[in-house]
């Protein structure tokens, strides 16, 4: 469960997408007056370390929408490599009325594109990526929609 909550927190910190629901289980209404601005300010507080994620959630009466995430894969480098990573990939539909940030304090450069286009850019040498990312995108590129992917892998 900690990995799922961490994925939700990281998604919010890095690109401003918040996978949360209200106490009644409803999606967040980003059109609610002042909500978008409050969340943007609290996101800055998370990055600055002046607020933690639990406090943010409690202050807005929100709950992590862990059910919106589907576990996709887990990659860990072998011990013999000096540069190590241990990462999990999750899939989720983009919540209504939310757009990922183009750049942020956590992301120096971002590109929102299809898996197929990302693989083409990688092959051309203009978009470097580590193998786990390549592998995940290679799998995603075989599907024309998130629904078809979920169907194939029985993720929902």
Question: Could you read off the pLDDT of 94-152 as tens digits, one per residue?
Answer: 998 999 887 788 777 788 899 999 999 999 999 999 888 999 999 999 999 888 988 88
Give the pTM.
0.86
- Reading the block at residue 132, the tokens are 């786990």
Specify the pLDDT at position 131. Answer: 87
19-45 per-position pLDDT tens digit: 999 999 999 999 999 999 999 999 999
Q: Is residue 40 within 8 Å of residue 46, measured between CB atoms? A: no
Q: pLDDT confidence of 84, banded at 50, 70, 90?
A: confident
Torsion of CA 63, 66, 69, 72, to 10 degrees: 150
């Amino acid at each position: 469960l900690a990995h799922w909550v961490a994925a939700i927190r990281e998604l919010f910190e890095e690109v401003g997408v918040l996978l949360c629901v209200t106490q009644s289980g409803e999606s967040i209404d980003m059109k609610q007056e002042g909500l978008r601005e409050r969340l943007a300010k609290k996101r800055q507080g998370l990055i600055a370390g002046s607020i933690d994620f639990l406090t943010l959630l409690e202050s807005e009466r929100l709950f992590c929408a862990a059910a919106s995430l589907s576990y996709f894969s887990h990659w860990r480098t072998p011990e013999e490599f000096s540069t190590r990573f241990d990462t999990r990939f999750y899939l989720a539909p983009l919540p209504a009325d939310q757009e990922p940030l183009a750049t942020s304090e956590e992301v120096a450069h971002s590109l929102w594109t299809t898996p197929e286009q990302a693989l083409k850019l990688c092959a051309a040498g203009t978009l470097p990526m580590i193998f786990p990312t390549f592998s995940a995108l290679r799998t995603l590129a075989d599907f024309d929609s998130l629904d078809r992917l979920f169907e194939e892998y029985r993720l929902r």
